[in-house]
Chain A
Amino acid sequence: MRLDQLPLRRPARVLSIAWGEIGDAAARRLRELGFDEGVTVEAMHAAPFGKDPIACRVGRMTIALRRAQAHAISVETIAA
């Protein structure tokens, strides 16, 4: 499953990130914000208009990103 398809409030683990699908700058920023293979991620909120972007919990941070960017991130749900 991709992160943009993950239902809200369902913890998941990042399996892989298609770094090539997003630009270099965005890829670096994703890493800097703590996105990495193996980390736990949870979609907390979707923006009110069009449910895009989404706000995700990664580590101790909340990161906002557009669904198109979240699509590059493969996840699998884990037990809460």
Chain B
Amino acid sequence: MNAAPMVALVGNPNAGKSALFNALTGARQKVGNYPGVTVERKAGRMSLADGRPVELIDLPGTYSLEPASPDERVTRDVVLGRQEGERLPAALVIVVDAGNLDNHLRFALQLIDLDLPIVVALNMIDMAERDGLRIDADRLAAELGVPVVATVAVRKRGIEALKAAIGTLAMESGRRAGGVRTPPPSDLAALQKRARAIARAATHETSGARRRSQQIDAVALHPLFGPLLLAAILFVVFQAVFAWAQAPMDAIDAGFAALGSWVDTHLPPGFVRDLLSQGVIKGVGAVIVFLPQILILFGFILLLEASGYMVRAAFMMDRLMARVGLSGRAFIPLLSSFACAVPGIMATRTIDDPKDRLTTILIAPLTTCSARLPVYTLIIGAFIPARAVLPGIGLQGLVLFALYAAGVAGALVAALILRRTVTRGPSPGFLMEMPRYQLPSVRDLGIGLWTRATIFLKRAGTIILASNVALWVLASYPQAPAGMKQSEYSIAGRIASAIELVVRPIGFNHEIALALPPAMAAREVAVSALATVYAIDADSTDETRTDAALGVRMQASWPLPTALAFLAWFVFAPQCLSTIAVTRRETNGWRWPAFMVAYLFCLAYLAAGATFWLATALGL
């Protein structure tokens, strides 16, 4: 039996709950999922002043006990002790924004009516003071009938006092018996009236100081400067993801290459050595190499979210997204998908309309993820001449841009069609609170990044490793007798021969057919798969192969229409196993991932076919 009492943090969105959770628990956090739903369960251990442990959980922010989304349903069920796999909390910490008591006290009152041990954290008291508000915490405690502690989570102010209050409550609740009172049917209007009256009694407006957020919004949401600022921010994010990440990525690449050759020289030749160096090290290395990009992208997303800018970006983009039946909330997940569809799909959790969210998940793989870049680079380098179309604009760069644009156009068209067919439903609307701007703390960003990195690495260590090893075994066995090509004799080669029958009409050859299944493990594996095919079949002493050498070899054996069709395929090609796995998890079943794979296969096939036939007809 778990002796540590469980205490839940609960409150409105934008009350600074997560920052408070970080301040109370530090980096000792465990992120998981509630059973059966795709709602994140964030738990952490906290030590009281006397050393007793408390399990703290951070519940999703919600405005009331009447849930509008799966996240909000979990919050309600946990505080009522109805959530599967969760104990009834020994106490609640209600987090309220001191600068927005009018609104936040309504939910607090609803929770206080449950009659659980409760302490109210009067958070962001510094910002309220800067806005010219003076809050009387004692008066508030008297009005609410529960203890109130003033805190500034991001500056770690009031944390010890809050811990002490939690300690007292946890001790009390040990002596309590029975469960939670069934919540009375809530009358929002009446609660709101009480909340306003209490807020008015406890708040003294000392000055009509002009609020800083309004001054920032005057620029950030300006009809002209607003979009310019957004474009500039997006440009910096993309620049960072692709340019800053290059050096650490090269270092990781080199590290895994060194590790592989160390294994090659120090282990006796045989199955174990080949499995380790070619299956495990190469396979996992090919995925971990994306960690820098994912961290940089997530760093920016966390920063934009914590600062309050993200909702403004969604606000500005809403109209454009509405044209294809989505809402502004889909903008950020789609943006994330340019680095990797996996975090993008995970980010759709913030979309509360289920149809809106599903559509966003289904089109996320169409935005060109960074893993496709190595494939594009290889083919463009080999087949597209490096000549200038216009001064300063090279043909190669133009083709790359066209591939990205084709992906975006594909995503928008797909959304438009999906919203009129399989995900048909009422327009999701756009109704969101715009939080105040806030300087995020480095600590909170660090904890957020650390959590993301561990989730990503765990996946690289399990599903991706397993699929890579499986693919390697398939490609290496049975070993071809002398005079036969390994790439045709192996199990993978025979599978490829079957695939070739299907993809022959769109101009694909046996080598491409062989590279397609491994590309499902991770897109860039297509490059190493092609390299392996040409290396296995070539003179085996040719160990110094490079992408350039590979390009030359492909140039000699692929007609141009085939190369172009291969590029078109990758714009739409069905996504990698990780994307399929995350889609299954986020949609709770195999139905939608299966649909996604099927429709993307059809799109990719048609696009590659059309490219091949057109290019052939033009005599390229």
Contact = CB atoms under 8 A, between A and B. Distances in A.
Given A49-B320, A61-B433, A62-B217, A36 B63 contact: no
A63 to B, nearest CB: 6
A29 interface: yes
A55 B188 contact: no
13 contacts: A22-B429, A26-B431, A29-B431, A32-B188, A45-B221, A55-B221, A59-B102, A60-B103, A61-B433, A62-B433, A64-B318, A64-B434, A66-B430
B432 interface: yes
A4 to B, nearest CB: 13
Contacts of A28: 64, 66, 68, 188
B430 A31 contact: no
A63 B102 contact: no
A65 B189 contact: no
Contacts, number: 104
Given A53-B318, A55-B315, A48 B226 contact: yes
Contacts of A45: 217, 221
A65 B318 CA distance: 10
B392 interface: no
B346 interface: no
B381 interface: no
Q: Which bucket holds chain A's interface residue count?
A: 20 to 34
B103 A61 contact: yes
A73 to B, nearest CB: 12
A50 interface: yes
Interface string A31-70: 1111010000000111111101101000111111110110
Minimum-distance CB pairs A-B, first 5: A32-B63, A62-B434, A45-B221, A49-B319, A50-B319
Interface residues of B, number: 36
- Which one of B99, B106, B434 has the highest number of Cβ atoms from chain A below 10 Å of its Cβ? B434
A64 B103 contact: no
- Which one of B103, B189, B426 has the highest number of Cβ atoms from chain A below 10 Å of its Cβ? B103
A44 B226 contact: no
Q: Is the interface of B mostly helix, strand, loop or mixed?
A: helix
Contact of A66 (B100, B316, B429): B429
B429 A69 contact: yes
A36 B189 contact: yes
Interface of B: 63-64, 66, 68, 99-100, 102-103, 106, 188-189, 192, 213-214, 217, 221, 223-224, 226-227, 311, 315-316, 318-320, 322, 328, 426-427, 429-434
A17 to B, nearest CB: 11
Contact of A48 (B227, B427, B430): B227
Given A49-B319, A50-B319, A52-B319, A68 B103 contact: no
B100 A61 contact: yes
A25 interface: yes
A8 to B, nearest CB: 10
Contact of B103 (A30, A33, A55): A33
A23 interface: yes
A64 B429 CA distance: 10
Given A32-B106, A53-B319, 9 more contacts: A31-B192, A44-B217, A48-B224, A48-B227, A59-B102, A61-B100, A64-B433, A65-B429, A69-B429
Given A47-B316, A49-B320, A50-B319, A55 B434 contact: yes
